[in-house]
Chain A
Amino acid sequence: MDTHTGLQSPKGIWWKPAHKAERMWVGIAFGWCMVLFAMMPLWHFRGGQNPAGIRRRVDPAAYYKRTMEFIKTYQVGVDHGIPVVAPPPGSEVYLMAQQFQWTPVLRLQLNTEYTLHLSALDVNHGFSLFPVNVNFQVVPGYDYGLRVKPTETGDFRIICNEFCGIGHHTMVGRVVVVDSLGRELKPARAVQ
């Protein structure tokens, strides 16, 4: 047996069978890798959280126009100068990111599906639904339409978690989820 360290040239042909203990570990590691691989397609069929959605290019100016129409149609109030919008169940919802603001504030209903569109007007932003901890990248020029179903009521925040400029840390949006009677069951905060 040619005993040598990794600093020394192996003598002769080094393509030799490994000990069964080593082969066993390679086999187990391979099996685990297959499990890791299989879990992702499996979750698309069986799981409730997938980053799939509708993905298409969009001109930022067109996205801005579409968001403004959306706000005009469903606006119910104003919060800190930002329009509050309560879209009907199943509708297309538009959220727009720009330095350093999320527009509009959303008022959604519990256990109701919406198609939430995300896009940015200027640079990359990060959609981070807080404290649920659901995160998506928001890229200018691309429309990410995600089918979203809130499964809890409450007053949520949208933190920007992609660096978007010196005012990045001031960029916070708001989503309120209410039940069918319009109640926010936990932390009670008034929504105008």
Chain B
Amino acid sequence: MTDATFRTCPTTGLKVSGQADALIKANAVAGTVALLIGGIAAILVLLTRWQAVHLLSAPWFYRMLTIHGMNMLIFFIIFFEMAILYFASAVLLSSRVAAPRVGWAAFAMMVIGTLMVEWTMWTGRADVLFTSYVPLRAHPAFYLGVIIFAVGALLVSIIFFATLVVAKREKTYIGSVPLVTYGAATAAIIAVITLGHGAAIYIPTFLWSIGVMNVDPEVYRMVWWGLGHSSQQINVAAMVSIWYLLGGLTVGAVVLNEKISRSAFVLYILFISMASAHHLLVDPGLGPAWKIVNTSYFMYMAVLASMVHGFTVPAGMELGQRLRGFNHGLFDWLKRAPWGDPGFSSLVFSVIVFGFVGGITGVTFGTEQINIIAHNTLRIPGHFHATVVSGTAMAFMGLTYYVIPLIFRKRVAFWKLAKIQPYLFAGGMLIFSLSMTFAGTFGAPRRHWDISFSQAPFDVQMNPAVDLMLGIMAIGGLLAALGGGIFILVTVWSVFFGKTLQPGDTEGVPQGIVNPIRHAANVDAENERLHGPASGLWGPAPGTLALVFIFLAAFITYYFVNWKLLSVVWKVG
């Protein structure tokens, strides 16, 4: 199918194909529906773990936890990533979509797979939680649904690569692909690796569920996490790409150095499939050497990549602001940033919470020995809500505020609510993650219906601080849920009942679209000057350099405090 229905985007000057538009819309809407289902489950799970309310019965708690995990970590995020893949290839390169009919077939498969999994979960045929560790058994349709969904996602990844080839052949752009597309390409490559692991584990597990073969529980855990954690690395690569994208759209962030940023993306690809290891650090199936090499993603090269992006993304934003004249002192660029633009505030919160909370706790808990005092406690969900929710989901939300006018050609509805949404969501999730992590340090288990242990043979006296922390967690979680609810209301209303975007609209349109960032004519010379010897060792982005040193100090402190905590527990080896 050739697709000649291009329109030219008045903001970015990009040529947008009609097929890309439609595929992005379909996937984004499906993702939002999954977010809504997962969000409702989140509130129910939260109100159960808040011991003072303890809402659900035990079976429904575990069922809702399964529904929450699958809808958020698989359906919401992957549908959304499919939209991003179409956006970063066809839209950013002004190309047509390669094989749009395959794209629609893939979308249909993903919807069918989702419906199969939803059916098994809601009818109590798959009370196995997100990880579905064998030999816990779910209905075969659960595994088959995941397989069909994954094949659909794999097809979209292949369409992404094919679109890159089409764009190159048809010369829709000059030179190298933009950094955002490059980053999305790494996400797509990691997606292929991830979905490969998914096939390698879900196909045998499906066969096991119908009684054809056996699956070893430890092998399941290892290969399954090749899917389960690597899929979070798709999120990271996609999220970092969005950081660069939103930085460019909101404050004209420039790419500091293409070599450094692109090399960091390559590090993600090279070391990502070792990700299953840090879920197996206290497992009986594997030895210390394997655990050390793999949990470090071989010498922490993927951590290095994230620390590099953690510098280059804000530094690019700082430089972008300085090039537009906000050049006084260390932090004038930050003070005079568009804080009322939900795309910008989402970006900043995503970077900060992902790095300071998610990143630091993740690397620390993923240390072979420190995992002994973290594994399966509330510290783990505390960590990954800071990465996946406050990091990835927050970035996706920020992007959505730009996608609504740019792709759906609508004004963002309830604009004032939309402006405060990132503050509510990120603030709530920050409180939620920190209090959950803190409760976990006292040994409070994750995935647990009743930590008052009222039906257990022996009494368990939780530290009173745990009850307090779970109460604070509930408040943070409810704030975040309110922020999530506003997000869904705003997007659904904008897309289905919103006002069509007209030239000259300012209400309901983010700053970066009302006044697209244009660099001055002498920008290259000014950039040269900021890079010059006058700026010394601090370079063109001194404010960011100061911030990353604060980050490093926090990292070092948290890391060694945890070694200290470990050193006082029973001797074990």
* Bound together: yes
Kindly list chain A residues whose C-beta atoms are within 8 Å of the C-beta of B542: 21
A36, B303: Cβ atoms under 8 Å? yes
Q: What separation, in Å, do the CA atoms of A52 and B368 have in the docked complex? A: 10
Q: A6-B247, A14-B176, A44-B288 are in contact. Are A22 and B539 (CB under 8 A)?
A: yes
Q: Decide if B107 is an interface residue (CB 8 Å cutoff).
A: no
Known contacts A129-B570, A140-B217; is A4 also within 8 Å of B176 by CB? no
Across the interface, which residues of B come within 8 angstroms of A129, CB to CB? 570
B323: min CB distance to chain A, Å: 7
B534 at the A/B interface (Cβ < 8 Å)?
A: no
Rounded to whole Å, the gap between the CB of B45 and the closest CB of chain A is: 13
For residue B137, which residue of chain A has the nearest CB? A123
> Is A28 an interface residue when CB atoms closer than 8 A count as contact?
yes
Q: A22-B312, A37-B300 are in contact. Are A169 and B455 (CB under 8 A)?
A: yes
Query: When the two chains form the complex, which single residue of A29, A55, A136, A141 contacts B372, counting CB atoms closer than 8 Å?
Result: A136
B135 within 8 A of A: yes
Cα A162 to Cα B446 in complex, Å, equals 8
Stretch at the interface among A69-77, A88-96, A146-154, A178-186: A146-154
Given A51-B369, A132-B443, A140-B217, check contact A163 B135 (CB 8 Å).
Answer: no
What chain B residues lie within 8 Å of A16 (beta carbons)? 257-259
Interface residues of A in 1-52 (CB under 8 A from B): 1-12, 14-22, 24-26, 28-30, 32-34, 36-37, 39-41, 43-44, 47-52
Q: Is A98 an interface residue (CB 8 A)?
A: no
* Cβ B458 vs Cβ A80 within 8 A: yes
The complex places the Cα of A133 from the Cα of B568 at a distance, in Å, of: 11
A161, B445: Cβ atoms closer than 8 Å: yes
Q: Are B260 and A18 in contact (CB under 8 A)?
A: yes
Decide if B249 is an interface residue (CB 8 Å cutoff): yes
CB of B85, distance to nearest CB on chain A (Å): 16
A118 at the interface (CB under 8 A from B): yes
Q: Give the distance in Å from the alpha carbon of A26 to the alpha carbon of B304 in the complex.
A: 8
Q: Which of A1, A51, A129 has the most CB of B within 10 A?
A: A51
Interface residues, chain A, with chain B CB atoms under 8 Å away? 1-12, 14-22, 24-26, 28-30, 32-34, 36-37, 39-41, 43-44, 47-53, 55, 80-82, 101, 113, 118-119, 122-124, 126, 128-144, 146-152, 157, 159-174
Cross-chain contact A150 with B563 (CB below 8 angstroms)? no
Pair A33/B458 contact, Cβ less than 8 Å: no
Enumerate chain B residues within 8 angstroms of A141, measured Cβ to Cβ.
Answer: 216-218
In the complex, which residue of chain A has the Cβ closest to the Cβ of B175?
A9
Contact of B572 among A147, A159, A160, A161 (CB under 8 A): A147
Q: A49-B572, A51-B288 are in contact. Are A37 and B458 (CB under 8 A)?
A: no
Tell me which of B455, B457, B552 contacts A32 (CB under 8 A): B552
Residues of A within 8 A of B372 (CB): 49, 51, 134-136
Given contacts A16-B259, A36-B559, 4 further A-B contacts (CB under 8 A): A29-B307, A43-B369, A119-B284, A147-B572
Contacts of B316 in A (CB 8 A): 6
**Contacts known (A6-B178, A133-B441); A29 close to B308, Cβ less than 8 A:** yes
* Residue pair A169, B453 in contact (C-beta under 8 Å): yes
Would you give the shortest CB distance from B543 to chain A, in whole angstroms? 11
In the complex, which residue of chain A has the Cβ closest to the Cβ of B301?
Answer: A33
Q: Once the chains bind, are B129 and A163 in contact (CB under 8 Å)?
A: yes
Set of chain B residues within 8 Å of A140, measured between Cβ atoms: 135, 217
When the two chains form their complex, are residues A18 and B256 in contact, meaning their CB atoms are under 8 A apart? Answer: yes
Q: What are some 19 contacts across the A-B interface (CB < 8 A)?
A: A3-B254, A6-B241, A9-B175, A10-B178, A14-B176, A25-B307, A25-B548, A40-B295, A51-B369, A52-B287, A101-B457, A118-B284, A124-B133, A128-B445, A132-B443, A149-B571, A159-B443, A161-B377, A170-B456
Contact of B217 among A30, A124, A131, A157 (CB under 8 A): A124
User: A22-B315, A126-B445, A132-B443 known; A7 and B284 CB under 8 Å?
Assistant: no
Give the residue of A32, A142, A169 whose beta carbon is less than 8 angstroms from that of B58. A169
Is there an interface contact between A10 and B175, defined as CB atoms closer than 8 Å? yes
B531 touches A29 (CB 8 A): no
Give the shortest distance, in Å, between B532 (CB) and chain A (any CB): 10
**CB pair B136 A124 closer than 8 Å:** yes
A80 to B528, CA, bound (A): 77
Task: For A19, give its contact among B180, B363, B445, B540 (CB under 8 Å).
Answer: B540
Contact call A161/B135, Cβ cutoff below 8 A? no
User: A5 and B367: CB pair below 8 A?
Assistant: no
Write the nearest CB–CB distance from A64 to chain B, whole angstroms. Answer: 16
- Residues of A near B450 (CB, < 8 A) are 169
Closest chain A residue to B252, Cβ basis? A5
Query: B288 near A52 (CB under 8 angstroms)?
Result: yes
Contact, CB under 8 Å: B255 / A21: no
CA distance A100 to B374 in the complex (A): 22
Q: Does B179 contact A (CB under 8 A)?
A: yes
Minimum C-beta distance from A57 to chain B (A): 9
Q: Give Cα distance in the complex from A84 to B291, angstroms.
A: 35
Residues of B within 8 A of A20 (CB): 537, 539
Chain A residues whose C-beta falls within 8 Å of the C-beta of B341 in the assembled complex: none
Given contacts A33-B299, A33-B304, A124-B136, is CB(A148)–CB(B260) below 8 Å? no
Q: Is the CB of A5 within 8 A of B247?
A: yes
B127 touches A166 (CB 8 A): yes
Q: Does B442 contact A (CB under 8 A)?
A: yes
- Do the beta carbons of A39 and B448 come within 8 Å of each other? no
Q: Name which residue of chain A comes closest to B466, CB basis.
A: A131
* B333 in contact (CB, < 8 A): no
A40 and B292 form a contact (CB under 8 A): yes
Cα–Cα, bound, A43→B253 (Å)? 42
Stretch at the interface among B194-202, B275-283, B468-476, B485-493: B275-283
Of A12, A43, A135, the residue contacting B175 (CB under 8 A) is A12
Expressed in whole angstroms, the Cα–Cα distance for A171 and B451 within the complex equals: 11
The yes or no answer to B8 lying at the interface (CB within 8 A) is no
Q: Which 10 A-B pairs have the closest CB atoms?
A: A21-B539, A5-B248, A6-B244, A144-B284, A33-B300, A14-B258, A161-B445, A149-B571, A29-B307, A172-B456
CB-based contact A19/B460 at 8 Å: no
